[in-house]
Amino acid sequence: MSNLKIEFTDKEITPWGGIAILQKMMDKMSFSEVLKEAPLPTQGSNRGYDPVQLIMQFIISVWCGASRYEHLEVTRFDGMIQQMFGWKRMAGHRAFIRYFQKFTMEDNANVFDYLYQWFFNNLAFDNFTLDLDSSVVTRYGTQQGASKGYNPKKPGRNSHHPLMAFIADVEMVANFWLRSGDAHTANNFEAFLNQTLHHLKDKRIGLLRADTGFYSKKIFELLETYDTPISYIIGCPLYVTIQRTIQSQKVWLMLDDGIEIAQTMYQSPTWDEPRRLIMVRQKVSERPKATGKVLRLFEDYEVVNGYRHTCYITNLKLPPAEIWRLYRQRATCENRIKELKYDYGLDKINQQSFDATETTLNFLMIAYNLMSLFKQVVVRESVRPTLKTLRYKALGIGSYVVKSGSQKILKMSVNMKRRSWITKLWQTAGSVNSPFITIET
């Protein structure tokens, strides 16, 4: 290759030709029109970028790999993306910083209430499974709200402690709150849940699942006292009274080698009434990788100490084994949080302003939901690929535009084996209509 030399071309070429497929889907959804109707803060200058363009360009940049504000430059000099969306000029990363700083707490509530409601109102499904979870996002600067709290990977570091609600059935985010790093997992749960239900509008919650951080008398009573009580399965910490209940349990049903399950009615000393307790134990010698905890209270009780235990409080009347299986499916929300961190920059993109950071991260959730919709109604693979995988398979396609009369044609550099698959994606993206997700037979 010693005789290799370089030359330049004035032809507009993009490395992200696959974005055209997503653009086609969003056009069919009239997403830009929805943004125009949203109560977005206005620009104070005539020279400011159109808020709709800023949000669309932000989402596209995230899909193309931006995980920090500086990375948003990935689309700034991409003339092909500019042509696709018909924008007169492309925004640099500081334009996004300035615009998101215009959002107040009230703006965040109004804008994202509108967007989430629009999204879920246009889904065909109902009777959802709602998974609640929190995460720790370590911060290294002086961001507002970052403080010392529970941080297992970086003890003593400042962090934020966001709270998220996922709809398991359609793999989408229903609500996101950014919170101070010292906030307890279930802090202000009632307001968060009520806002989530408002986002879902007329959709129903058939089941709520949450981990031990949401184990609380107030939460149980809240879920049970709605006009239509919400069915729930919530993880149970192994308090001393729970351990004594496990020790006294004599009847266990074997589910599999090394796995046994039991149930009883349990009443905490602080509760007004008993609730159903499901207990699962897995024999450490047979299942060394089993999740759960080894009881330490009864060191002389050999049988108890030979197992790892997990417990759940529920108001469901299903068989204990089915309740355990239902709860185990909640593990998928942990994978969604990982994808949000690794592929969307949940733990990296932030501003010093708390409200601006919450705005940024909520738009990340909208980008996530749109991509989830794309996976389900356009890609349609049995195993849902991550965003990183889709960047390689469908988005990162070298492309340029040619004209044939008045017709513009996007020329994609795709090998012969993949052309039929890309063509199918293009055709499917053009057939997306409300309701966005329907049951296929």
Per-residue pLDDT tens digits of the chain, which is 441 residues long: 568 888 887 888 899 999 999 999 999 999 999 999 999 999 887 788 999 999 999 999 999 999 999 999 999 999 999 999 999 999 999 999 999 999 999 999 999 999 999 999 988 888 899 999 999 999 988 899 989 988 888 888 999 999 999 999 989 999 999 999 898 888 889 999 999 999 998 889 999 999 999 999 999 999 999 988 999 999 999 999 999 999 899 999 998 888 999 999 999 999 999 999 999 998 887 777 666 655 555 444 434 567 889 999 999 999 999 999 999 999 889 899 999 999 999 999 999 999 999 999 999 999 999 999 999 999 988 888 999 999 999 999 999 988 888 888 999 999 999 999 999 999 999 888 777 765 443
Contact 214, 186 (CB under 8 A): yes
Determine the pLDDT at residue 303.
44
Contact 278, 261 (CB under 8 A): yes
Determine the pLDDT at residue 349.
93
Determine the pLDDT at residue 294.
54
Determine the pLDDT at residue 296.
53
Contact 177, 190 (CB under 8 A): no
Asked if the structure places residue 76 within a domain, the reply is no
Spatial distance between the Cα atoms of 11 and 227, rounded to a whole number of angstroms: 62
Q: How far is CA 292 from CA 91, 238, 288, in A?
A: 49, 10, 11
Give residue 269's domain range. 232-328
CA 277 to chain centre: 29
Beta strands 275-283 and 307-314, pairing class: antiparallel
Determine the pLDDT at residue 436.
77
Determine the pLDDT at residue 383.
84
Per-residue DSSP letter, 386: P
H or E stretch covering 276: strand 275-283
* HSE-CB of 339 using CA atoms within 13 angstroms: 23
Provide the number of structural domains found in the chain.
1
Alpha helices in 122-203 (DSSP H): 189-200
Determine the pLDDT at residue 304.
54
Asked if the structure places residue 430 within a domain, the reply is no
Contact 436, 29 (CB under 8 A): yes
Spatial distance between the Cα atoms of 122 and 283, rounded to a whole number of angstroms: 46
Strand partners, 132: 165
> CA torsion sign, 105 to 107 to 112 to 117?
positive
Asked if the structure places residue 383 within a domain, the reply is no
Asked if the structure places residue 68 within a domain, the reply is no
Asked if the structure places residue 41 within a domain, the reply is no
Asked if the structure places residue 279 within a domain, the reply is yes
Calculate the dihedral angle through the C-alpha atoms of 169, 170, 172, 173, rounding to the nearest 10 degrees. -40
| Of 340, 359, 345, 348, nearest in space to 178 by CA | 359
Alpha helices in 18-104 (DSSP H): 19-29, 31-37, 51-63, 79-85, 93-100
Determine the pLDDT at residue 403.
86
Asked if the structure places residue 126 within a domain, the reply is no
Q: Record the tokens describing residue 78, joined without a space.
A: 């991409």
pTM of the model: 0.92
Per-residue DSSP letter, 180: B
| Of 439, 440, 434, 421, nearest in space to 28 by CA | 434
Spatial distance between the Cα atoms of 146 and 198, rounded to a whole number of angstroms: 28
Spatial distance between the Cα atoms of 242 and 117, rounded to a whole number of angstroms: 40
Determine the pLDDT at residue 437.
66
Determine the pLDDT at residue 378.
93
Q: Record the tokens describing residue 394, joined without a space.
A: 């469908």
Calculate the dihedral angle through the C-alpha atoms of 35, 36, 42, 47, rounding to the nearest 10 degrees. 100
Determine the pLDDT at residue 124.
82
Asked if the structure places residue 269 within a domain, the reply is yes
Determine the pLDDT at residue 152.
83
Q: What is the tally of helices (H) and strands (E) in the chain?
A: 15, 16
Spatial distance between the Cα atoms of 230 and 315, rounded to a whole number of angstroms: 9
